[in-house]
Amino acid sequence: MSELVSIIIPVYQTPIQTLHDCVKSLQQQRGDDFRVEAVIVFDGKPAFDTTSILTWATVSMNVHAETIEHAGVSAARNAGLRSASGQWAMFVDADDALAENAVENLLKFALQRQCDIVMGAYRSVLGADAETHHYLNENKVFEGSECDKFCEDMLRPQRGIALAWGKLYRMSVLRSIQGFNESLSLGEDAEFAFRACVVARRIGYVDAMAYEYRRNAQSAVRTFRTDYVRRTVKGIEALQDTVRQMEPADTREAYMQCLDDYALFHLTIIMINYLFNPQAPWGRKERKTRYRQTLNLPVFQEPLLRYRGGRFPITRRVALLSMKWHLYDISAAIAWARHRQFGD
């Protein structure tokens, strides 16, 4: 029986040529046992005429396009899930691309090994530079207690797998968790992917390229946002709420320990993007006040109290220890050095 894979593309202010380049990577996904359905969801009215998009359909790929009121990427993805017809789903951002043979490799493994979710390797591209990310150096199936270990790694950002994209999902799994949490605007991918993996009976990893994450210089600029901490904390608390409901207690405790790493990782990002962002409109006194207030938030204060070093690269370790002991000047020096590295 031929399988239908629905590939959901949320679109917000993406030029039509960039979107077309993304869809071309879907058109190139061919196999004897599957068809592709491109589900394109515009998050708000696009700046171009969308009638030509339906002409992008091919013999092996259907195209469905719709527009919703602007409500964020999670709402757009959920709209795509509601419209999707496939037994399987994938997510692709409009400025990224699927790797060659991604659907065939992931789907074949899912069917042969009876997996609910299959993840592949991915490539991160910035201009002429590319970095590949491999979770393992071999194919593997996780089940039983091994699924728990995989889910723990989802909560360790340094493992680089808490992503919505780069994975093939059985549609029934996504419907059972009711899609994305639309109240989140930071950390929504990690929260969604974690919930999906927790309910999966079998999770597969295929050590082949599945996704190309196309970064650009503009997106690398650290724009200052006054609500950055609030949005980050909301994402962490959503994960905490999910974990607190889990049984048995020893599994729940293991996940809560991993959540320390998740919170601490994001605290280092807050240090760079918020507390010591050169665009922040604060003097030294106000910045120190914000520094203390952020570190005293329970979601960060408690993991910092438990942190004894290790588990992160040396620069992050020093940054975390400086914040643990409220060594403002050391935190500031690390952040300014990082901004110089970025060219901010």
Q: What is the pLDDT of residue 344?
A: 58
For the cut 60, the answer to whether the pLDDT of residue 59 exceeds it is yes
Say which residues have a Cβ less than 8 Å from residue 42's Cβ, sequence separation at least 6.
11, 12, 50, 65, 66, 67, 68, 76
Q: What is the pLDDT of residue 223?
A: 80
Q: What is the pLDDT of residue 128?
A: 84
220 pLDDT tier (thresholds 50, 70, 90):
very low
The CATH architecture annotation of domain 3-215 reads: Alpha-Beta Complex (3.90)
Give residue-wise pLDDT tens across range 195-215: 999 999 999 999 999 999 998
Percent of residues, the chain, with pLDDT higher than 70? 97
Domain ranges of the chain: 3-215, 264-342
For the cut 70, the answer to whether the pLDDT of residue 1 exceeds it is no
For the cut 60, the answer to whether the pLDDT of residue 221 exceeds it is no
User: Could you tell me the pTM of the whole model?
Assistant: 0.94
Give residue-wise pLDDT tens across range 272-323: 999 999 999 999 999 999 999 999 999 999 999 999 998 899 999 999 999 9
For the cut 80, the answer to whether the pLDDT of residue 134 exceeds it is yes
The answer to whether 25 touches 9, Cβ cutoff 8 Å, is no
Question: How would you class 154 by CB atoms within 10 Å of its CB: exposed for 0-12, middle for 13-18, buried for 19 or more?
Answer: buried
Q: What is the pLDDT of residue 293?
A: 98
Backbone CA torsion sign across 83, 89, 93, 99: negative
Question: How would you class 229 by CB atoms within 10 Å of its CB: exposed for 0-12, middle for 13-18, buried for 19 or more?
Answer: buried
Cα 338 from Cα 343, distance rounded (Å): 9
